[in-house]
Amino acid sequence: MTVPDDLLPFIDESTGHQAIEAGPEAWRILLVDDDADVHETTAFALRGLEIAGRGLHLLHAHSAAEALQRMRAEPDIAVVLLDVVMESEHAGLDLVARIRGELGLLNTRIVLRTGQPGQAPELETIRRYDINDYKTKSELTRQKLYVTLTAAIRSYDQLRRLEASRRGLERVIAASNQFIAEQGMVDFAEGVIIQIAGLLGVDPEGVVCAAADPLRGAPSAGGEAAGFVVIAAAGRWRHLIRRRVGELDDEAVADALLHCLRARASTSGPGFVALFFEGRGGASGDFAAYIAARTPLPAIDRQLVEVFCTNITLCAANVALVSRLREHAYVDRLLGIANRTALIEQLDARIADGSLAGQALATLDIDQFAETNDMFGHRFGDLLLQAMAQRLVQGLPGSCVVARVGGNAFAVLGPTALVRDEPLRVLLEAPLELEGVQRRISVSMSFVPCDDALPSTGSELLKDAAITMKRAKSGGHGRSEVFTRALGEDSKERTRLLHGLHRAFDHDRLFLAFQPQVDLSNGRVVGVEALLRWRAEDGRMVPPDRFIPVAEQSGLIVSLGNWCLRSGLDALVQADRAAPPGAPLLTLAVNVSPVEFAHPDFLRQLDLALADKGVAPSRLELEITESVAVVGLDHVAELLTEVRRRGVGVAIDDFGTGFSSLSYLDRLPATRLKIDRTFVSRLGSDQPGARIARMIVPLGRQLGLRVLAEGVETEDQRQALVDMGCDEAQGFLFSRPLPLPGLLDWLAASRSMA
Ligand code: C2E
Ligand code: MG
Ligand code: MG
């Protein structure tokens, strides 16, 4: 069989590679006959004959049973010369049926021989069993036998090649399907070696190389050695992986690959084939595969390999595209490290296969990054992040995963010995270099040991890390915190609380209690403080000390605070209506959290509430604590000035408990000081608290502020406060905080007593 060689872009001699032709095997011919003479004459007749360049190897069987046994052991028999009548009249034809049916040998050619013309099988039989020829024994002279066998062997050879090519094509199609599912260029290239080896029937030993940066499709420098790297290698070449072709220690492999890439055509040589795969979109996408194989390839294999190469080139383009998409999805564009999605997937996988034991997950936040970004610009911020990423990647061994999990948040996953406070602090101690400028950074860190009670998903693990980070940051800058189960529980509890609070707010299960404030000089009520109350679904009261911080953290406090203000004013209007004519007007004190203060809409909402409810601003007092300082003293001072300009009062609540800086007290335009009840409770003793209470009264006086004592529970305390000259008081001694109807009753009673 000849194949027009110009169909194939194989280069042979020109490369200097010597073709080695494997010794051609002889065709196997099985002679089945019960007559010993026939065996002898046939052997004699065939001696020294050659057909299609190959010798003949005659096998002998003297019965149908023996023939069957023989063929079972040696299925590659080209021709069977078969006696029709042997043990029985049908022995020959029965054997044909079994060769085709039982043994499934469809390519083997069968030539029937019979002693007499009368024993000839019917045409139908010849057709049914695909019998090649029918001869009487007398016709089998050397000459005639040669002609018969030549035809049979040609036919056998063609059938066999057709079958091989059909199987090969099936393989190519299967391979293409598989390649579509491959996830990366490396997997893909490994698959190429395996598939080609399978196609050629050799062990998968080979090398695939491509332009240096196949994933990015960067143009390779002239397609030369330096521009190509090994992206997959199998068998004895495994060690070459990721090496540049120019640096390969196996010169033969490097030569063959380069020759193939330069000539942009497949080539072969002693013991190998080098296949060329043309890139789509220019030479930068070209790649080549070097496979150990006997050479030259039979023409049929060459054709198959060509089909395969064309197919695979298309697949490669798909794989490169998928790789790029994956890269987009998993790699942080700015820093070139894993992103949050990649880390979560990796954590998921490692939680599933149990390989996180002995590991820890750290998150690292650059402190005050937002401020730095604002002050020096985003480009500077980017440089800072890049320098930080570089420091982590270079300073940590490959066993650690470094990822970016948020704007300025990095994560490191690795062995607990490395992923802990001290080594990471040491690593980040030296200043980062940003365009020649040295810059020290402060980093907050959280650590989640991955040992016991691991959550079931990577994102939950990251959530634990976030909770821990929040805790670390609450203590200030540059701190570390290690996750504990209690911390996790605490955070879960807060989440539950917040959900409950949202529901309660939506379903009107929140209400206000009002605590009267009295003038110590005459015992008359002068105002009320509104205090928020939450009765949970089970009927129990949830103390504000628990739910207010949660509402603050979530921002819910803004709408909650606005609701308190409006409801408080409503109550004040109702109290006015219930009061006898001429009764002095009460003031309403409302607690305001720093979060509300920081909200840009604060003043507008205040004005709206006062206008809507028709209450004079002078009857309202806002209670703030010293914690408003976190919003920024300038801003608070400005805002309070606005508040005061409207005539609304400002009380400093819990005075004495914070970091009471007198200088800032001086700067805040307050109207009242509220002595915290911890000091009041110590009045009448010589404890330090009592002395502080005594100091606050003259201090307030000096600053021109009225002073109110909180938490007055006993007559002794009241008396002590009166003696000190304290203006007002509130506390259980006068009344507990009361819901509105209770307050109205209390007010009526207290007025009738006065
Ligand atoms: P606060 O503003 O200092 O409120 C005074 C707290 O002392 C109230 O606790 C009140 O019930 C309690 N109290 C009053 N007299 C006595 C007494 O004689 N003895 C004792 N042992 N306690 C007394 P409450 O209602 O549990 O509120 C706790 C804190 O929650 C408040 O402290 C305030 O900071 C905050 N809060 C309450 N309502 C609101 C609100 O509507 N908005 C904001 N932002 N915070 C609120
Ligand atoms: Mg208060
Ligand atoms: Mg207070």
The protein residues having their C-beta less than 5 angstroms from ligand 2 (an ion) are: 591, 623, 653
* Most confident segment among 643-647, 673-677, 684-688: 643-647
- Indicate whether 572 and 451 sit together in one domain: no
Q: Is the pLDDT of residue 449 over 80?
A: yes
User: What CATH number is given to the structural domain containing 215?
Assistant: 3.30.450.40
Ligand located closest to 510 CA = 1
Q: Is the pLDDT of residue 337 over 70?
A: yes
- Indicate whether 585 and 513 sit together in one domain: yes
Q: Is 191 in the pocket of ligand 1 (CB under 6 A)?
A: no
- Indicate whether 474 and 535 sit together in one domain: no
pLDDT band at 217 (very low <50, low <70, confident <90, very high): very low
| Residue 174 belongs to some domain of the structure | no
Protein residue with least CA distance to atom 42, ligand 1? 591
pLDDT tens sequence across 114-130? 776 666 666 777 777 78
pLDDT band at 299 (very low <50, low <70, confident <90, very high): low
Phi, psi of 325, rounded to the nearest 5 degrees:
-65, -45
How large is the average pLDDT for residues 169-178? 68
- CA–centroid distance, residue 531 to ligand 1 (Å): 6
Ligand 1: which of 517, 531, 675 to mutate, most ligand atoms within 8 Å of CB? 531
Which pLDDT score, from 0 to 100, does residue 437 have? Answer: 85
- Indicate whether 186 and 155 sit together in one domain: no
| Residue 492 belongs to some domain of the structure | no
Which pLDDT score, from 0 to 100, does residue 659 have? Answer: 55
User: What CATH number is given to the structural domain containing 570?
Assistant: 3.20.20.450
Contacts of 205 (CB under 8 A, 6+ apart): 193, 197, 234, 235, 236, 237, 291, 292
3-state secondary structure 99-149: HHCCCCCCCCEEEEEECCHHHCCCHHHHHHCCCCEEEEHHHCCHHHHHHHH
- CA–centroid distance, residue 589 to ligand 2 (Å): 7
- Indicate whether 133 and 225 sit together in one domain: no
How large is the average pLDDT for residues 379-398? 94
Whether residue 594 is preceded by a cis peptide bond, meaning omega within 30 degrees of 0, is no
**pTM score, whole prediction:** 0.54
Lowest mean pLDDT among 392-401, 653-662, 672-681: 653-662
- Indicate whether 475 and 526 sit together in one domain: no
Protein residue with least CA distance to atom 45, ligand 1? 591
| Count: domains in the chain | 4
Q: Which residue has the higher pLDDT, 88 or 669?
A: 669
Q: Which residue has the higher pLDDT, 226 or 724?
A: 724
The answer to whether 37 and 84 are in contact (CB under 8 A) is no
**Mean pLDDT value across the chain:** 84
Domain boundary among 306, 330, 354: 330
- Indicate whether 273 and 401 sit together in one domain: no
Which pLDDT score, from 0 to 100, does residue 325 have? Answer: 74
User: What CATH number is given to the structural domain containing 142?
Assistant: 3.40.50.2300
pLDDT band at 614 (very low <50, low <70, confident <90, very high): very high
| Residue 703 belongs to some domain of the structure | yes
| Residue 582 belongs to some domain of the structure | yes
Which pLDDT score, from 0 to 100, does residue 519 have? Answer: 97
| Residue 85 belongs to some domain of the structure | yes
- Indicate whether 347 and 326 sit together in one domain: no
How large is the average pLDDT for residues 600-616? 96
The answer to whether 57 and 31 are in contact (CB under 8 A) is no
Q: What is the dihedral of CA 548, 550, 554, 555, to 10 degrees?
A: 10
Determine the atom of ligand 1 nearest the C-alpha atom of 712.
18
Ligand 1: which of 550, 569, 591 to mutate, most ligand atoms within 8 Å of CB? 591
How large is the average pLDDT for residues 164-174? 70
Which pLDDT score, from 0 to 100, does residue 159 have? Answer: 85
Structural domain of 70: 5-162
- CA–centroid distance, residue 697 to ligand 1 (Å): 21
The answer to whether 492 and 683 are in contact (CB under 8 A) is no
Which pLDDT score, from 0 to 100, does residue 604 have? Answer: 97
- Indicate whether 325 and 409 sit together in one domain: no
- CA–centroid distance, residue 569 to ligand 3 (Å): 20
How large is the average pLDDT for residues 282-286? 66
- Positive or negative: CA dihedral 308, 314, 315, 319: positive
Q: Is the pLDDT of residue 339 over 70?
A: yes
- Indicate whether 519 and 440 sit together in one domain: no
Helix H or strand E segment including 458: helix 458-474
| Residue 210 belongs to some domain of the structure | yes
- CA–centroid distance, residue 622 to ligand 2 (Å): 9
- Indicate whether 398 and 348 sit together in one domain: yes
| Residue 76 belongs to some domain of the structure | yes
Q: Is the pLDDT of residue 7 over 80?
A: no
Ligand located closest to 622 CA = 2
How large is the average pLDDT for residues 647-673? 83
Which pLDDT score, from 0 to 100, does residue 17 have? Answer: 32
3-state secondary structure 536-565: CCCCCEECHHHHHHHHHHHCHHHHHHHHHH
Q: Is 709 in the pocket of ligand 1 (CB under 6 A)?
A: no
Q: Is 435 in the pocket of ligand 1 (CB under 6 A)?
A: no
| Residue 265 belongs to some domain of the structure | yes
- Indicate whether 420 and 305 sit together in one domain: no
Which pLDDT score, from 0 to 100, does residue 543 have? Answer: 94
Tokens of residue 196, six digits = 């080609």
User: What CATH number is given to the structural domain containing 421?
Assistant: 3.30.70.270
Which pLDDT score, from 0 to 100, does residue 254 have? Answer: 87
Q: Is 407 in the pocket of ligand 1 (CB under 6 A)?
A: no
Lowest mean pLDDT among 73-87, 290-304, 457-471, 595-609: 290-304
How large is the average pLDDT for residues 98-105? 90
pLDDT tens sequence across 504-552? 998 888 999 999 999 999 999 999 999 999 998 888 999 999 999 999 9
Residue 254's alpha-carbon distances to 197, 212, 250, 260, 423, in angstroms, are: 19, 15, 6, 10, 43
